Amino acid sequence: MITTNYHADGICVIAPQFERLTAANADSFKTEVLALIQEGRTRMVIDFARVSMVDSSGIGALVGLLKKVGNRGEIAISALSDNVAQVFRITRMDRVFKIFPDSHGALSSMDT
Amino acid sequence: MLARCFRISARISEVDPLILRLMAAVEPMISAERLLSLELAAIEALTNVVLHGCAGQPDAIIQVELSANPDGLSLLISDPGVPMKDGLFENALDLDQIDPSSESGRGLATIKACADVVVYTRKADRNSLTLTFRSGRNP
Do A63 and B95 lie within an 8 Å CB cutoff? Answer: no
Q: What is the pLDDT of residues B127-138, one digit of tens each?
A: 999 999 998 655
- Helix (H) and strand (E) counts for chain A? 4, 7
Q: What is the pTM of this model?
A: 0.94
Do B113 and A90 lie within an 8 Å CB cutoff? Answer: yes
Residues of chain A with pLDDT under 50: none
Q: Is A92 on the interface with B (CB under 8 A)?
A: yes
* B61/B78 Cα distance (integer angstroms): 9
Mind telling me how many Å the CA of A34 is from chain B's nearest CA?
A: 14
Nearest CA in chain A to B110: A91
Chain B residue numbers with beta carbons less than 8 Å from the beta carbon of A63 are: 100-103
ipTM of the complex in this document: 0.93
Mean pLDDT of B108-124: 95
* B82/A58 Cα distance (integer angstroms): 25
Q: What is the pLDDT of residues A3-23, one digit of tens each?
A: 999 997 889 999 999 999 999
Q: Mean pLDDT in chain B?
A: 93
